[in-house]
């Protein structure tokens, strides 16, 4: 009971740390996940129910509201249906190096996300993601090789500095959408 209370208090503490860098530092310091590489950023304020079943490589950014699901409780439904014992399903999730996981994505159990991967916002990752790819959708599918995406972003990078001007962003939007 004592460890359960400690875990719940730790979850509450993480939820109440509003600054993403302070929250990430706390997560790393307290060894919340199985392992975490260098240059890790964790924006979600909710910790998965089984964080010790998740490994993160180096240079990984997890955007807001990403959900990691390591298990299900479907065995309870089955047991109530047929009064037989059914195994609890719990699996690991492994994230490689140089990975971005977009906001509101869901990563399901028993998934390996390779190195150099970009996962688009709102994706549902149901199976392994190969290295050097951009994936998105529900279920997530390969959209393009990462190098093609980087080409596109590199061209835009020279036009839009890391710090942006609101008016410049709106000018670009209007030009791209309406040609003016």
pLDDT in tens, 86-143: 777 788 999 999 999 999 999 999 999 999 999 999 999 999 999 999 999 999 999 9
Q: Which two tokens stand for residue 158?
A: 């020279």
66, exposed or middle or buried, with CB in 10 Å at 0-12, 13-18, 19+? buried
E strand map for 20-120: 35-36, 40-42, 54-56, 60-62, 67-68, 71-72, 89-90, 93-95, 99-101, 106-107, 111-113, 117-119
pLDDT in tens, 62-73: 999 999 999 877
Tell me the C-alpha distance between 179 and 39, whole Å: 39
pLDDT in tens, 7-34: 888 888 887 788 889 999 888 999 999 9
Residue whose pair of structure tokens reads 């199985």 in the numeric block: 34
CA 58 vs. chain centroid, Å, equals: 13
Is the bond leading into 139 cis (omega within 30 degrees of zero)?
yes
- SS3 of residue 73 by DSSP: coil
Question: Catalytic positions, please?
Answer: 71
Residue 141's pLDDT is 92
CA atoms within 13 A on the CB side of 32: 24
């Amino acid at each position: 009971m004592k460890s359960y209370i400690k875990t719940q208090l730790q979850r509450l503490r993480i939820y109440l740390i509003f600054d993403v860098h302070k929250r990430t530092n706390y997560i790393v310091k307290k060894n919340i996940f199985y392992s975490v590489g260098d240059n890790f950023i964790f924006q979600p304020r909710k910790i998965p129910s089984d964080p010790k079943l998740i490994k993160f490589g180096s240079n990984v950014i997890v955007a807001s509201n990403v959900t990691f699901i390591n298990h299900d409780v479907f065995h309870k439904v089955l047991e109530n249906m047929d009064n037989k014992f059914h195994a609890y399903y719990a699996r690991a999730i492994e994230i490689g190096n140089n990975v971005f996981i977009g906001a509101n994505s869901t990563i399901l159990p028993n998934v390996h996300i390779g190195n150099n991967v970009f996962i688009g916002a709102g994706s549902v990752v149901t199976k392994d993601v190969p290295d050097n790819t951009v994936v998105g959708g529900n279920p997530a599918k390969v959209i393009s090789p990462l190098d093609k995406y980087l080409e596109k972003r590199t061209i835009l990078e020279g036009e839009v500095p890391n710090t942006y001007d609101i008016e410049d962003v709106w000018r670009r939007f209007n030009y791209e959408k309406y040609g003016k």
